[in-house]
Amino acid sequence: MFVVKRSHHNPIFIPDKDHYWEAFATFNMSVIKKGDMFYGVYRAISAIDRLRTPQQISTIGIGKSKDGVHFEERIPFIMPSEEWEKYGCEDPRVTFFEDNYYIFYTALSVYPFEANGIKVAVAVSKDLKKIEEKHLVTPFNAKAMTLFPERIGGKVTVIVSVNTDRPPAKIAIAQVNEIEELWNPEFWNKWYTDIDKHIIDFKRLPYDHIEVGASPIKTEHGWLLIYSHIQNYFSAPGNPDRIFGIEAVLLDFNNPLKILGRTKGPLLVPREPYELYGHVANIVFPSGAILKQPARNASHSDVGEDTLDIYYGAADMTTCVAHVNLIDLISTMRPETSSEWHFKRFLKNPIIEPDKKHQWEEKATFNPAALRIKDTTHILYRALSGDNTSYIGYASSKDGLNIDERLPEPVYSPREDFESKKVAGANSGCEDPRLTKIGTTIYMCYTAFDGIGPPRVAITSINEKDFLQKNWKWEKPVLITPMGFDDKDSCIFPEKTNGQYFILHRVGSEICGDYFKSLDFKIEMIKKCIRIMGPRINTWDSEKVGISAPPIKTKHGWLLLYHGVSKSHNTYRIGAVLLDLNDPAIVLARTSDPIFEPEEIYEKIGIVNNVVFPCGMAEKDGLLYIYYGGADMVVGVATIELDILLNTLTRDIIEKK
């Protein structure tokens, strides 16, 4: 679980039309700190020269910055001067190693470009002002080589992408005793004959493409490598979208061929206009990473160099930067800590399953609401009968995990025409309840469906005393969403905001909100879709999003969990957002990766496969409990430390204060 945020200055580096050599594009910057200054080396594409072939050429520029964002004094740094780079110098990666700066880059020797003419070269500088020497490194097709900043096991160590233009590409490690051996063809020819011994395979599927990104960074737990992982680069079954992503992997200190942990998906994908449109559309490509120490709030114990800035090229046109908390990123990646940064399942899941003895819940029991009152968690779950009618059942738990009581009859049944079955055997009834307690009244929002019209949100209520005594005297339900819209996933906030009640709902694929002046639902109805958040293209929540349980108030904001569905995989996963206390339509932070996803068989196989779908959430003894439907079939429970979740969501908020 981590939050990746793009700089509001993005793109931080754009072409300069007054400099012919960088007038068209400036991207794929690698950054290093020297004293109090940040130096960025970057690929520059020239203005068009119609008298030359090719009409544009790539060179490597350098700029200086005091803050790592605003770069000035841009000058050419590495220009084609050798036969093996006569058609361009691309994509530099800089490392300070044993008193020198080594800038590895892609050298182009053939035009039209072909694999035989695309190789790795290196430039050496003592001060980042002057290039002392240049060498061709690989005698074969390769790109994206970079140097580890210190010896590993006494060896000079590089990581490189081999056969990038003769796929499948491979990422591999090479080690030598002295750095000069890196530009010795004899070493590389011998190394290449045993290349399979040197490979690290980051690909998940054979259709993916990988390439080294930034220079490795030494952390407390291993070498952190930011790299490019392109999903579906090659044709895959179903023709899913090609997605350029930025990912991370943790390598062993002493054996960089050993993977200690990795991200399960991208940190960043193309989403913003400057990433979606440009010289080559829909690309983010990592080229640099650096640890920076932010200003911290004194109450935080994790003071230190814990913010990772990731520099990347956007649409092969500009340079951008995003940041992520290093503790959150590495804790999510490491198997030893990953479970603490995700919801952890109860080992005795599922806690509620269909009961064949009860016709009303014989087919499925799932998507539960939850309310913790005093020492008991009350669970209202959706139950599906043999004829696909949805009812609401009741169960309770003292410890929040083990079910102590479960009633044999439904506590809420379809009663109005708008939720009564119109087509025999079709789905209908009262679906996916969500509970909010306001004063001494408990409100239940649910999806009402008659099997024909679009689903709508209905609301009913019950007195808390009757609820606790199990006198199910529900108020007459009322529809609160307009006709003709697929509108569901709704709840009421537990207290007023600026004198009004805020209600969440989902129209189509987006989470919306509206304000009610009162809780008199005979006169109140949802009339607005104030957009709060929607799907994020190219990500795990790219198809649609909807709320899970009613939010919890914290001192930093309203904590809301939500479900997201991916366009490529049609899998339901869970993320978290923090909403502004005074205006809950404003998102303060949103997790970049899912914090809970289907893994167990009861979540992956059921009426609807690959689904975790919480409708209930409760806090107890510092733990946040979610109650969820697994594969639209059973009920499970999972927990996470509330402080870990809130710390992840509030890092930037606290730093800005």
- DSSP class per residue in 572-600: EEEEEEEE-SS-TTSEEEE-SS-SB---S
Q: Does a structural domain hold residue 351?
A: no
pLDDT of residue 382: 98
Q: Does a structural domain hold residue 348?
A: no
pLDDT of residue 301: 35
Residue pLDDT, tens place only, 85-106: 999 999 999 999 999 999 999 9
Domain end, chosen from 337, 371, 404, is at 337
pLDDT of residue 254: 97
Rounded CA separation 89/109 (Å): 9
Q: What's the CATH code of the domain at 292?
A: 2.115.10.20
Write the single-letter amino acid at 463: N
Band (58; pLDDT cuts 50, 70, 90): very high
pLDDT of residue 568: 80
Residues 324 and 473 in one domain: no
Q: Per-residue pLDDT for 242 more than 70?
A: yes
Residue pLDDT, tens place only, 483-509: 988 899 999 999 999 999 999 999 999
Rounded CA separation 201/251 (Å): 12
pLDDT of residue 29: 98
pLDDT of residue 320: 98
Residue located via tokens 């012919």: 20
Rounded to whole angstroms, what are the CA distances from 478 to 341, 454, 506, 521, 524?
Answer: 40, 16, 17, 7, 10
Write the single-letter amino acid at 298: A
Residues 333 and 476 in one domain: no
Overall domain count for the chain: 2
- DSSP class per residue in 311-360: EEEETTTEEEEEEEEHHHHHHHHSTTTGGGGS-EE-TT--SB---TTSGG
Q: Is 429 left (phi over 0), alpha (psi -120 to 50) or beta?
A: left
Any idea of the CA torsion for 546, 378, 457, 517, to the nearest 10 degrees? -100
Q: Are 242 and 233 in contact (CB under 8 A)?
A: yes
Q: Does a structural domain hold residue 56?
A: yes
pLDDT of residue 522: 87
**Proportion of the chain above pLDDT 90, given as a percent:** 93
pLDDT of residue 300: 34
Residues 456 and 578 in one domain: yes
Rounded CA separation 532/208 (Å): 33
pLDDT of residue 657: 46
Residues 329 and 421 in one domain: no
Q: Does a structural domain hold residue 514?
A: yes
Structure-token pair, residue 203: 């690909």
Q: Does a structural domain hold residue 6?
A: no
Q: Per-residue pLDDT for 542 more than 50?
A: yes
Residue pLDDT, tens place only, 159-206: 999 999 998 899 999 999 999 999 999 999 999 999 999 999 999 899
Bridge-based pairing of strands 572-579 and 612-620 is: unpaired
Rounded CA separation 612/572 (Å): 6
Rounded CA separation 626/639 (Å): 6
Residues 328 and 362 in one domain: no
List all residues 6 or more positions away from 100 whose beta carbon is below 8 Å from its beta carbon.
124, 125, 126, 132
Band (302; pLDDT cuts 50, 70, 90): very low
List all residues 6 or more positions away from 602 whose beta carbon is below 8 Å from its beta carbon.
349, 350, 630, 631, 633, 634, 636
pLDDT of residue 87: 98
Band (656; pLDDT cuts 50, 70, 90): low
Rounded to an integer, the average pLDDT of 325-335 is: 97
Q: Does a structural domain hold residue 1?
A: no
Residues 333 and 362 in one domain: no
pLDDT of residue 62: 98
Rounded to an integer, the average pLDDT of 59-63 is: 98
Rounded to whole angstroms, what are the CA distances from 537 to 110, 271, 276, 561, 576?
Answer: 37, 6, 10, 19, 17
Query: Higher confidence at residue 599 or residue 292?
Result: 599
Band (305; pLDDT cuts 50, 70, 90): low
Residues 421 and 303 in one domain: no
Residues 197 and 261 in one domain: yes
Rounded to whole angstroms, what are the CA distances from 195 to 119, 171, 256?
Answer: 16, 10, 15
Residues 558 and 603 in one domain: yes
Rounded to an integer, the average pLDDT of 10-18 is: 98
Q: Does a structural domain hold residue 147?
A: yes
pLDDT of residue 296: 39
Q: What residue numbers bound the domain in which 260 lies?
A: 13-337
Domain end, chosen from 304, 337, 370, is at 337
Q: Is 257 left (phi over 0), alpha (psi -120 to 50) or beta?
A: alpha
Residues 188 and 223 in one domain: yes
Q: Are 305 and 289 in contact (CB under 8 A)?
A: no
Residue pLDDT, tens place only, 453-487: 899 999 999 999 999 999 999 999 999 999 988 89
User: Taking all residues of the chain, what is their mean pLDDT, rounded to a whole number?
Assistant: 95
Residue pLDDT, tens place only, 392-438: 999 999 999 999 999 999 999 999 999 999 999 999 999 999 999 99
Rounded CA separation 620/617 (Å): 10
pLDDT of residue 653: 75
Q: Are 497 and 516 in contact (CB under 8 A)?
A: no
Write the single-letter amino acid at 618: A
pLDDT of residue 292: 83
Residues 451 and 366 in one domain: yes
Q: Does a structural domain hold residue 343?
A: no
Domain end, chosen from 337, 372, 404, is at 337
pTM for the model: 0.94
Residues 309 and 379 in one domain: no
Residue located via tokens 């009860």: 358
Q: Per-residue pLDDT for 295 more than 50?
A: no
